[in-house]
Amino acid sequence: MAHTEKGEGHKENNTDYTMDGTIDIKGRPCLRSKGGRWSACSFIVVFEVFERLAYFGVAPNLVLYLTNKLHQGTVESSNNVTNWLGTIMLTPILGAYIADSHLGRYWTFILSSAIYLLGMILLSLTVSLPSLRPSACNSSNVEDCKTQTKQIQVNIFFLALYIIALGAGGTKPNISTLGADQFDIYDPKEKALKLSFFNWWTFAIFIGNLLSSTFLVYIQDNVSFSVGYIIPTVALAFSILVFFIGTPFYRLKLPSGSPITRIAQVLVASVRKWKVPCPVDSTELYELDSEYYAKKAHYKINHSASLRFFDKAAVMIGSDSPWMLCPVTQVEETKQIIKLLPVFITSIIPSVMMAQVLTLFIKQGVNLNRNVGRNFKIPSASLSSFFTIGTLTSVAIYDRCFVPFMRKRTKNSRGVTMLQRIGIGEGLHIFIMIMAALIERWRLSVVKSHHLVYQKDIVPLTVFILSPQFVLMGVAEMLVEVGKMEFFYDQAPEGMKSLGASFFTTSIGIGNFVSSFLLSTVARVTREGGKKGWIENNLNASHLDYYYGFFAVLNVINFILFLVVSKFYVYNKEGVEIDKDMKEIATVAVSK
């Protein structure tokens, strides 16, 4: 009896601590009553508002700065923007690897924030100091203006941009997951609170976006880029200070090892044993016992019949090297990641479409009538606020109206499946690019009728004719990009969620680089034979309508491929079964 009471008392004491293995900044187990939850997340959400203010204080107007201040042409400036955005979306792979394998999320974030701030300070100096800022040019010929720009000035400006990209690569994948770590998934109340964190997290992102694309863009256009960049730099410094103040409240997780290594071990073991036959009975494959996974707070995954070749990694032939023998769970994790690759490939073209929002769409607005009333002129880059508004309103409508309506008919808790949601968005991309082509064709007809083809004068059309393509791109963002984020995170194995989430950012990064490649290639090919190309420095003499039509065809081809991939995709088990597994693991962990 005494032994039982002691055990029960020990179990009660254990419930005073988090059960997910988190520690505080001093390496001690976290008391549930101290820190974590919203007392910690409030600092993280505030950080995100001001960090987004900093990032989007640079991104929306960057293509116009490159054009007007560094005197770059349409193709060069657009490609430099998409290459930078692509790098920002790819560097999180490095940031996630360093956090998972070496430093942990907190210290990776602190180091990356310092790099990020250094880049913002250097960027502010390059647009403020006369010695680093190119002189003004009144010539309409881009090549004439380029002679007034020193290469060292261009080099320092891009050095600052890519220092920012490197810093953002460490903050982007770790700040949101650090926020999610503040809620113990083994406690039902905290698990419910975790859902509200992601809602507020999304809200913080769009508040920062909206402030940047309106207030900061106006400052950059009407006051100076110097003031317009110093403000987001100060905002970033403030956000880092806020985050640092919250340190005593944070729950931290120790580095757990890189999922890339675990996948590589399965691939290598499978290839090395490619001649070894797989047993008919899957129970003969190598697997660790449930107690091992309980101690590590990892999920045990049952064997599946798909991608049988990789089962060879779990066939026992004598060697116990991790590069020759892998447990079934590790093999199944690898299979689940590989299953994501076809969807990942078909998700790149939608990201190419999104890349147009901060490049060609913005440049289209420069030569249109941007007057609102007699005394106010809307900055061209502020058109991106229509994109943000489209995303925000469609999120509310989708969540409050569409999902409940469809849930009654499909009996699916999400209303429609994740791939159906993405598919609707990809279909919308086809419509958007056809519409954008028709609007540009209308604009060019007005240009021709007013004899403005070889001039850069303002076209007598309101800039708001572009608002539908911005708003609908925002709707497509909600369907495709948010759908991709949910799909890759949800369908990745529990022990590789960070890798699954990186599929989302990687698809955006590759999409931006593909956008650069397509723009350069189309511009070069259409100029062959001495003809006027589709994309010239003077958009009034260009044919963006043809280019957008090309995008519409590209979207149709990608949509067909996506339908084929979706038809054969089999979803992983989720929901109730996962919850049961979590409870079992938590029970074992507490009893230990």
Asked if the structure places residue 341 within a domain, the reply is no
Residue 139: per-residue pLDDT: 62
Q: What spatial distance separates the first Cα and last Cα of the chain, rounded to whole Å?
A: 19
Mark whether 322 and 445 lie in a shared domain. Answer: no
Percent of the chain with pLDDT over 90: 38
pLDDT for residue 415 is more than 70: yes
pLDDT for residue 145 is more than 90: no
Mark whether 235 and 294 lie in a shared domain. Answer: no
Distances (CA, A) of 170 to 180, 194, 212: 16, 22, 22
Asked if the structure places residue 495 within a domain, the reply is yes
Domain of residue 230, residue span = 14-257
pLDDT in tens, 223-276: 888 999 999 999 999 999 999 999 998 888 888 777 888 999 999 999 999 999
User: Band of the pLDDT at 1, cuts 50, 70, 90?
Assistant: very low
Asked if the structure places residue 85 within a domain, the reply is yes
Mark whether 469 and 442 lie in a shared domain. Answer: yes
Residue 116: per-residue pLDDT: 95
Least confident of 341-345, 400-404, 468-472, 511-515: 400-404
pLDDT in tens, 473-510: 999 988 998 888 888 877 888 767 777 777 888 899 99
pLDDT for residue 147 is more than 90: no
Residue 138: per-residue pLDDT: 67
- Interatomic CA distance for residues 512 and 357, integer angstroms: 11
Residue 140: per-residue pLDDT: 61
Which of these three, 304, 336, 368, is where a domain ends? 336
Which of these three, 213, 242, 257, is where a domain ends? 257
Mark whether 580 and 434 lie in a shared domain. Answer: yes
Q: At what angle do helices 544-568 and 418-449 cross, to 10 degrees?
A: 170
Residue 17: per-residue pLDDT: 78
Least confident of 124-133, 164-173, 179-188, 506-515: 179-188
Mark whether 363 and 219 lie in a shared domain. Answer: no
**Is the Cβ–Cβ distance between 392 and 477 less than 8 Å?**
no
* Tally: H helices and E strands in the chain: 23, 4
Distances (CA, A) of 45 to 54, 251, 253, 371, 388: 14, 15, 19, 36, 19
pLDDT in tens, 56-115: 888 888 888 888 888 888 888 889 999 999 999 899 888 888 887 888 889 999 999 999
Asked if the structure places residue 9 within a domain, the reply is no
Which of these three, 336, 366, 387, is where a domain ends? 336
Residue 296: per-residue pLDDT: 66
- Interatomic CA distance for residues 445 and 533, integer angstroms: 17
Give the CA-trace dihedral at 119, 256, 508, 78, to 10 degrees: 20
Exposure string of 38-72, with b = 16+ CB inside 10 Å and e = fewer, is bebbebbbbbbbbbbbbbbbbbbbbbbbbbbbbbb
Mean pLDDT of the chain: 84
Residue 537: per-residue pLDDT: 83
Least confident of 44-58, 344-358, 367-381, 485-499: 485-499
Which three-class secondary structure state does DSSP give residue 288? Answer: coil
Distance of CA 437 to the CA centre of its chain: 27
Asked if the structure places residue 2 within a domain, the reply is no
Mark whether 183 and 285 lie in a shared domain. Answer: no
Average pLDDT over residues 310-334: 92
Residue 571: per-residue pLDDT: 87
Q: Can you give the CATH number for the domain in which 20 is found?
A: 1.20.1250.20
Asked if the structure places residue 127 within a domain, the reply is yes
Asked if the structure places residue 382 within a domain, the reply is yes
Average pLDDT over residues 426-432: 96
Mark whether 363 and 317 lie in a shared domain. Answer: no
Least confident of 4-8, 148-152, 222-226: 4-8
Mark whether 228 and 331 lie in a shared domain. Answer: no
Residue 292: per-residue pLDDT: 78
Mark whether 211 and 107 lie in a shared domain. Answer: yes
**How many domains, the chain?**
3
pLDDT for residue 389 is more than 70: yes
Average pLDDT over residues 157-175: 90
